[in-house]
Amino acid sequence: MGQQNEEPVSAAALERVTWALRRAELAVQTLKEQRLRSSLGMPVAHYTLLISIHAEPGLAGAELARRLNLTPQAVASLADRLESRGQLERRPHPRHRHVQELHLTDAGRELLRQADILVEEVEQKITTGLGHTNTVRLRALLEKVAATAQET
């Protein structure tokens, strides 16, 4: 019987674009988490939910879960926490009585404003390190990656 490669993946696996994207995403999320928690005591998941609701007020939890690649239960739990803090409110859907729409409150908008200042600082750190030309190029490439991945 011949020798088998004992490595679980090829050496090229660690050179994949998708692995580089994941490492970059984790590094950025970690930095945002540190900044948001240390300054506002806010997990990045709360920021993500608040900015998503700001972008599309009235989204239902199930739709938000699909868009964020989370379970509906995870979104409901996050929404419960934010609602208990007075940062978001649930309103009945005008046509579907079992669906509740999510909306920011004034407190939620203010917290999002403060959090977004910190996230903008993270963005500035990254884009300053890249420079203008590379930032524009990276943005275009990431849009292309997203479009390519969504093609069926």
CA atoms of 48 and 36, how far apart (whole Å):
11
Element (H, E) at 63: helix 61-68
Is 4 inside a domain boundary?
no
Mean pLDDT to the nearest integer, 109-126: 97
Task: Please report the pLDDT score of residue 14 as a whole number.
Answer: 86
**What does pTM read for this prediction?**
0.83
Task: Please report the pLDDT score of residue 4 as a whole number.
Answer: 65
Helix (H, G, I), strand (E, B) or coil at 105: coil
Task: Please report the pLDDT score of residue 3 as a whole number.
Answer: 57
Is 143 inside a domain boundary?
yes
Q: What is the pLDDT of residues 62-88, one digit of tens each?
A: 899 999 999 999 999 999 999 999 999
Is 6 inside a domain boundary?
no
Is 96 inside a domain boundary?
yes
Domains contained in the chain, number: 1
Is 95 inside a domain boundary?
yes
Is 19 inside a domain boundary?
no
Domain residues for the domain of 113 are: 24-150
Q: What is the pLDDT of residues 15-67, one digit of tens each?
A: 899 999 999 999 999 999 999 999 999 999 999 999 999 999 999 988 999 99
CA atoms of 89 and 53, how far apart (whole Å):
11
Longest dimension (CA), the chain: 70
Tokens of 98: 């079992």
